[in-house]
Chains A and B, each alone.
Chain A
Amino acid sequence: MISELNKNTDFSASFINDQSVLPLVITPNKENLSLRDLFGLHKDIIDKSLLKYGGVLFRGFKLDGVDEFQSMVEESYGNALDYNDRATQRSRVKGKVFTATDYPPDQEILLHNESSFAAKFPRKIFFYSIETADQGGETPLADVRKVYNHLEPSIRKPFEDKGVLYVRNFTGGPFGFKWQEVYQTDDKSEMEKFCSESDIEFEWTSEDKVKTWQKRPATAKHPDTGESLWINHATVLNVFAIEPKLRKMMLKFFKEKDLPNNTFYGDGESIDEETILKLKKAYDDKTVSFLWEKGDVLMLDNMMVAHGRRPFSGTRKVVVAMAGPIAWKELQN
């Protein structure tokens, strides 16, 4: 496929390194070729490449700020999505463009497929590097087709049979989120309506504190290729994903049932630490990463590729736009 890609005169295609076909890297052959024009001219082949490799990194193209970034996404893939049913601190930069995360820079964010715990999630996610960190700050990637196949069947099967239960507590304290932040409203009835429409059970534990439960599949067949995908937040939101010393401290403060986030098998059974460590290792074994360059745009098939964030120093500004919503109800697993 790469030789076919390189038959055109507008851009060249290569891989990020000799060991990985993720992401495909596309660079311009002409000076001042804008990314918006590239999508206008070659969207079909970009989409084909995305379905094969899962992620495409556009490097060296002209892109004039976040307005043009959002326009480029919307011209090709429809309205950019808002960020509701939140799982990370994120600020709106402008329009439907958000900071990738406001999570503290010295902390790692484990791999996950964007919003896969929600009733609907984006098919495509775009990252745009505006400022690069002095050190680190990579967005590690893992092809979840490979993660699925790499997992021992004995680990995978209970998840395939039962799904994942996400239990969240929005307490408004210094840890975790306030429900108003997560659901982007101050109106309880709006929040309740959203939950009901999104298959989220909820219980008000006090005037301003709410507990939610949402059960989702752990795997899916890709709607275009039929490939099996490991697509969930079972690892990243589980208590055993927290560094042991911090976890111990957190459990001094919270009863296990009251943790801001935790995951279970779909029938409510606890997931043991060994399983979480094996899931984490499966992602790690399939992880690739690269250093951001200023102006890079990374496009991911959010169903095929999980992403995370490495710790960094200095100032890093990576923004995101999401598009192409799909509901779990539309998918087979």
Chain B
Amino acid sequence: MSDILKAQIAEFITGKLKDSGKGVPENFDNTTPLITSGLIESLYLLELAVFIEEETGTPLDLTTVDFTKEWDTIDGIVNFTHSHSK
């Protein structure tokens, strides 16, 4: 489940990077910093959260999220998703 979700999130993010004209970094993987590196726009975090809820079918609890710390990598996002799905 985690690996599938990671792949889905990676596809979502690389799609956004291509669309935005930024392109995908060469060594992009599940540990690549997304927010602290300025790689993805903040607006895409909300789109990503919507995407994750739709894919998992479970609402996310974002009331206490620290995006910069907890959503900075795909690994982090998936860990957060598993621990904060309502």
Query: CB within 8 Å of B: which residues of A?
Result: 104-107, 173-176, 245-246, 249-250, 252-253, 313-315
Contact = CB atoms under 8 A, between A and B. Distances in A.
10 contacts: A105-B19, A174-B42, A175-B42, A246-B43, A246-B47, A246-B50, A252-B62, A253-B63, A253-B65, A313-B19
B4 to A, nearest CB: 22
Closest 4 CB pairs of A and B: A174-B42, A252-B62, A253-B62, A174-B67
A133 B33 CA distance: 29
B51 to A, nearest CB: 10
A249 B41 contact: no
Nearest to A172: B68
Contacts of B42: 174-176
A104 B50 contact: no
Contacts of B20: 104-106
A315 B50 contact: no
A174 B68 contact: yes
Given A173-B68, A246-B46, A253-B65, 15 more contacts: A104-B20, A106-B19, A106-B20, A173-B67, A174-B42, A174-B45, A174-B68, A175-B46, A245-B50, A246-B43, A246-B47, A252-B60, A253-B62, A253-B63, A315-B21
A253 B42 CA distance: 13
A106 B19 CA distance: 7
A52 to B, nearest CB: 38
A33 to B, nearest CB: 34
A132 to B, nearest CB: 14
B5 interface: no
B49 interface: yes
A173 B69 CA distance: 11
A95 B44 CA distance: 31
A212 to B, nearest CB: 19
B35 interface: yes
A174 B16 CA distance: 17
Contact of A104 (B41, B53, B60, B68): B41
A245 B53 CA distance: 11
Of listed A174, A245, A252, residue having the most chain B CB within 10 A: A174
A107 B60 contact: no
Contacts of A313: 19
Interface in B1-50: 16, 19-21, 35, 41-47, 49-50
A174 B35 contact: yes
A313 B16 CA distance: 11
A105 B50 contact: no
